[in-house]
Amino acid sequence: MSASSAEDFEQCAHIATALLEDEELVRKYKKSITWGVQRYQNGRSSNKKRKITVFPCNDCDVPLARPFLCLHCSYAGCWNNNHMVDHLKKADHLFCVDAKSGAIFCSQCDDLCYNAKTEKMYLASVLSVEEKQTRFQVSNKPREPFKAWSPSEEERTALQGTVSIPCQGRRGLLNLGQTCFMNAVLQSFVHNPLLRNYFLGDKHNSKLCKTEDCMSCEMDKLFTEIYSDELMPFGPVSFLTTTWQKSPELSGYAQHDAHEFFCLALNSIHSSSKGSTNISCNCIIHSTFAGQLQSDVTCERCHNVTTTVDPMFDINLELKDKDKGNDGESTTLMACLRRYTQPEKLGNKEYSCDKCRKATHDASKRLTIRQLPPVLSFQLKRFEHKTSEKSASARKLDSVIRFPASLNMMPYTTFSEKDNFAGAGPEALYEYDLFAVINHEGQMNNGHYTNFARFQDQWYRFDDDKITPSTLGDCLKSSAYMCFYVKRHLEYKPHMTPAYVLVREAEAIREKEMEKEKEAAKEAARMKEVEDALLATV
């Protein structure tokens, strides 16, 4: 957003005036934000409990989980009981700040007001703290410094005449007839930061793409609709039509499984992405969801280990018998992960040792995660199918699964073993934060999919076309069917060129070669004409 367009959204002239005239207020604002970010960062560790400084309200002594600080004195007060607002009126002070979000409350406007300059100061303060406090700093390899985007002359020309709109990123999706399974997955895609940055960054343009039934084009259209200024619910009709064409099993108006649609969508987007290949693909889907599973089979007789590595795009977690009761007992996502990565005995004739050269009854198999993806997707297997000679049955498992807001994946990786720990790297690269959850309500034959998703620091509940402000606590209490976590710190690969850039460069090289071939053909034709003219005169 340009400076002029950003000012159009500003409602408070008092803040703008104070920023120009009161240097002490600016200093106090930056100091408050720095304190708030440091306090928040210290409490985010997923594997260590750190002591967090908690301010009490100066009036009621209630500990302030989200403190508001007066920008004119040392007063800290609570918001829910109006103590901060009352203080501003009694002391005749103008402003207070939410130390976590950087939002400024103006007592004269009686509202939280947006200001472009304070927004820049807030982002700069947050960035400064994070660069200094990063916990994966290594010797002689400092964190890559942030560089603000500055448009080139070509980009300035392209932006002329454009109109800025607020990117609210929250829009309901119409149920087109038993399509809640699709809507829940699409909302998780919309709130996926890597997919969002890719499609909003115009890495795939549906108006320029010539591929028929292209799922990447449908994703581009979806993000365009969601991040528009339109507030009415959007009906993803063409997305549904393309899905039916890609998968006849998901066509029609019967109820379908959200996880099945999730897998189909990933495969279809991958197939239509720029730079998609069958080997070492770095398309947007592989760059976002792809990891590696390592399977180690150990012969108990000779201790020979057979290792295989397979790709993974999500992790499917079983619910054990003790998790299936309806007596209020619950388990955790971490317990499911521990069972997933525990060694298990193989049955008779399931393994033939290459070293022993015969089938063995003493062998164990263990799965671990060899390579973690930027986005982790978990599916909890709540739908159980049993078949026997006499009948087949299916049921839904309604057991409560507690899942965390932050997750450390180090214990479930191949590097968790002492022998492999040297290659593990900084522990901070194993930390993930929750950003979306898909829920299934009801039974198998008459259920309904909804989901929770995080937009910046605010949680929302999406129920098709209905959007309800929610909280992280409500999300963590929900009955999860799929959970999505994003890496807190993405690995920086300065020497890796994205696939779309490689394709663009290859196209440019090919165009130059074609131009050279045309010029060479013209030159050859011209020389032929000269030779023919000389022969005619002889």
Domains of the chain with CATH codes: 3-133 (3.30.40.10)
Q: What are phi and psi of 439, to 5 degrees?
A: -115, 150
Model's pTM, two decimal places?
0.74
Higher pLDDT, 397 or 145: 397
Whether 264 shows a pLDDT value over 90: the answer reads yes
Q: What is the pLDDT of residue 398?
A: 82
Q: Which residues are catalytic?
A: 180, 448
Contact between 377 and 384 under an 8 Å Cβ cutoff? The reply is no
Q: What is the pLDDT of residue 386?
A: 67
| CA separation, residue 8 to residues 11, 13, 92, 115, 385 (Å) | 8, 12, 28, 10, 57
| CA separation, residue 475 to residues 141, 156, 188, 194, 438 (Å) | 38, 42, 14, 22, 10
Q: What is the pLDDT of residue 49?
A: 47
Q: What percent of the chain has pLDDT over 90?
A: 37
What stretches of 43-152 show up as alpha helix (H) in DSSP?
83-91, 116-133
Q: What is the pLDDT of residue 223?
A: 94
Identify the bridge partners of residue 392 per DSSP, sorted by sequence position.
387
Q: Confidence class of residue 375 from pLDDT cuts 50, 70 and 90?
A: very high
- Alpha carbons 259 and 440: distance in angstroms, whole number: 11
| CA separation, residue 81 to residues 57, 92, 101, 347 (Å) | 10, 19, 19, 63
pLDDT tens figures, 195-220: 999 999 888 989 988 888 899 999 99
Q: Residue 127 has which token pair?
A: 């960035």
pLDDT tens figures, 281-331: 889 999 999 999 999 988 877 888 888 899 999 999 988 655 444 444 568
